[in-house]
């Protein structure tokens, strides 16, 4: 045992060590990230090769699709890096020139708020694609997409509000 380490009781060691069961999940998300990189290149190639034959509306929809893939990819990175750092083990990036700013103050609550806002961004892109393509969709589909988007917005507001309340109660408990 190294100096400064405390020896855990067997049950505590098992429970604490069980966090490593999440490692395959994060590795699986890295594979999903690779799938999105492939999808991005397929869509980008399609956009570049077909540009002379596409209308402005089709180009805009394809570009929004690329933005959507990037935003989902960003969401994956937040979950992979932030989740691993929060729930499994420290990455030891302190002082590394490429360390993301948000990682230094990430915790479960901050991660939830960041994920909720990322989901709203992704939903906004889908909604914009819907409005651009509105003439090809029925009103019921568009209405449900707006309702679902608003549910995401209200959920994010609720998560942020609860996080703020919990932050204030933790500050009050320290005093």
Are 163 and 108 in contact, with CB atoms under 8 Å apart?
no
Task: Based on the fold, state whether residues 48 and 116 are members of the same structural domain.
Answer: no
| Structural domain that includes position 137 | 107-175
Residue 67 vs residues 41, 59, 80, 102, 169: alpha-carbon distances, Å: 12, 12, 20, 21, 38
User: Which of the listed residues 104, 137, 160 is the one where a domain comes to its end?
Assistant: 104
Q: Cα torsion at 94, 95, 98, 101 (round to 10°)?
A: 60
Name the pTM for this structure.
0.75
Task: Based on the fold, state whether residues 36 and 100 are members of the same structural domain.
Answer: yes
For residue 85, give every residue at least 6 positions away whose Cβ sits within 8 Å of its Cβ, in sequence order, or none: 91, 103, 106
Query: 90-97: long-range contacts (C-beta < 8 A, 24 or more apart)?
Result: none
Task: Based on the fold, state whether residues 71 and 144 are members of the same structural domain.
Answer: no
Assigned domain for 141 exists: yes
The per-residue pLDDT for range 12-21, each reduced to its tens digit, is 889 988 999 9
User: Which of the listed residues 82, 104, 126 is the one where a domain comes to its end?
Assistant: 104
Task: Based on the fold, state whether residues 127 and 111 are members of the same structural domain.
Answer: yes
Task: Based on the fold, state whether residues 113 and 160 are members of the same structural domain.
Answer: yes
The per-residue pLDDT for range 90-147, each reduced to its tens digit, is 887 777 888 777 776 777 777 888 888 899 999 999 999 998 888 888 999 999 999 9
Assigned domain for 2 exists: no
């Amino acid at each position: 045992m190294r100096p400064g380490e405390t020896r855990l009781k067997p049950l505590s060691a098992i429970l604490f060590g069980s966090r490593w069961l999440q490692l395959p999940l994060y590795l699986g998300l890295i594979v999903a990230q690779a799938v999105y990189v492939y999808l991005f290149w397929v869509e980008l190639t399609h956009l570049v090769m077909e540009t002379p034959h596409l209308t402005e509306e089709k180009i805009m929809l394809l570009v929004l699709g690329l933005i959507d893939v990037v935003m989902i990819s960003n969401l994956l990175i937040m979950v992979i890096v932030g989740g691993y750092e929060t729930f499994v083990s420290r990455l030891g990036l302190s002082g590394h020139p490429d360390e993301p700013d948000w990682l230094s103050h990430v915790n479960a609550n901050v991660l939830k708020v960041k994920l909720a806002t990322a989901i709203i961004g992704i939903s906004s892109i889908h909604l914009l694609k819907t409005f651009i393509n509105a003439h090809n969709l029925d009103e019921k589909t568009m209405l449900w997409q707006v309702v679902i988007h608003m549910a995401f917005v209200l959920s994010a507001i609720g998560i942020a509000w609860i996080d703020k309340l919990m932050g204030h109660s933790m500050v009050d408990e320290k005093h």
